[in-house]
Amino acid sequence: MFDGFNRLGLWTLYMKEVRRFCKVQTQTIWAPAVTTLLYLVIFTVALGGGGRMVLGVGFASFVAPGLIAMGMVNNAFANASFGLLVGKMQGTIIDYLMPPLSEAELLLALVGAAVTRALLVGLAIYGAMLLWPGVDVTIRHPWAVAWFGLMGSVLFALIGVITALWAEKFDHNAAVTNFVITPMAMLSGTFYVITGLTPLFRTISAFNPVFYVISGFRFGFLGQSDIGATNQAVISAALGLGALNTVLTAVTYALLRSGWKLRD
């Protein structure tokens, strides 16, 4: 019987999830890093020729922070959605439901493992970009890099858990990835500044939470971004992301507690 916080159970599930993706780290960590570097090469060659400058820096240096953040959030979603969904598909979901873990502890372990993978992918990409010619990834505001990287990873981890609860087959998860996650990531200002968009698309971007993740993360490297070059503007975005994650955490916890599509 566990009357209080089950630290051992939480740590055990967290390590299970971490070891699961570490056993195939070529696929879960290094492959996303290589894919992100290919994005850097392609978009730098296609759009960065002629010494193009964006926000006062070279195009490659402008794109690099956004690519790191995009790699992190995509892998946070992939990791959080995979574990539960595989359990549902293979009939091993009981391994998540039977141990003496509360819904909060279960959610914390799943999100924590997803964030861990996101951080490892981010570090791998950052390390490669440190050696990349023509790319400056000097960190000017460490708090912004840490906060927006963490909040973006938590946001997509929570979306991943909700997707895994909703999905009844792998096609459902793929549909969310292709029609929700990828458009949100690609249309987040990773490769452009939204000031160059029409008013309609600037408004649409303003409702995309990934835009604030990318722009805030970029502010940590460049000292400026689409949401402003002052701490006040970026702090407002940071607080907004924190509030969004708080609400989404409450929703995900309520779904887990209700047993929605888990105990039906």
pLDDT above 90 covers a percentage of the chain that reads 60
Give residue 11's pLDDT: 94
Residue 103 lies in a domain: yes
Look up the pTM and report it: 0.92
Residue 91 lies in a domain: yes
Q: How confident is the model at residue 157 (pLDDT cuts 50, 70, 90)?
A: very high
The H or E element that residue 222 is part of is helix 209-222
Give residue 123's pLDDT: 96
Taking alpha carbons only, the member of 195, 198, 257, 214 closest to residue 72 is: 214
Q: Average the pLDDT over 86-105 and give the result.
A: 87
**Containing domain of residue 223, as a range?**
7-258
User: In this structure, are residues 170 and 89 in contact, taking their beta carbons and an 8 Å threshold?
Assistant: yes
Taking alpha carbons only, the member of 92, 70, 55 closest to residue 192 is: 55
pLDDT above 70 covers a percentage of the chain that reads 95
Regarding predicted confidence, which is higher, 133 or 151? 151
Q: How confident is the model at residue 98 (pLDDT cuts 50, 70, 90)?
A: confident
Which segment of 120-134, 151-165, 240-254 scores lowest on mean pLDDT?
120-134
pLDDT at 3 over 80: no
Residue 139 lies in a domain: yes
Which range, 57-61, 80-84, 248-252, is most confident?
Answer: 248-252
Amino acid at 197: L
Residue 1 lies in a domain: no
Which segment of 62-66, 133-137, 193-197, 233-237 scores lowest on mean pLDDT?
193-197
The secondary structure of 112-137 as a DSSP string is: HHHHHHHHHHHHHHHHHHHTSTT---
**Cα distances (Å, whole numbers) of residue 191 to 65, 222, 262:** 10, 15, 39
Residue 183 lies in a domain: yes
Count of structural domains, the chain: 1
Q: Average the pLDDT over 36-54 and give the result.
A: 77
Average pLDDT, the chain: 90
Query: Is residue 54 classed as helix, strand or coil in its secondary structure?
Result: strand
Give residue 47's pLDDT: 65
pLDDT at 50 over 70: no
The token duo for 264 is 């039906």
Residue 264 lies in a domain: no
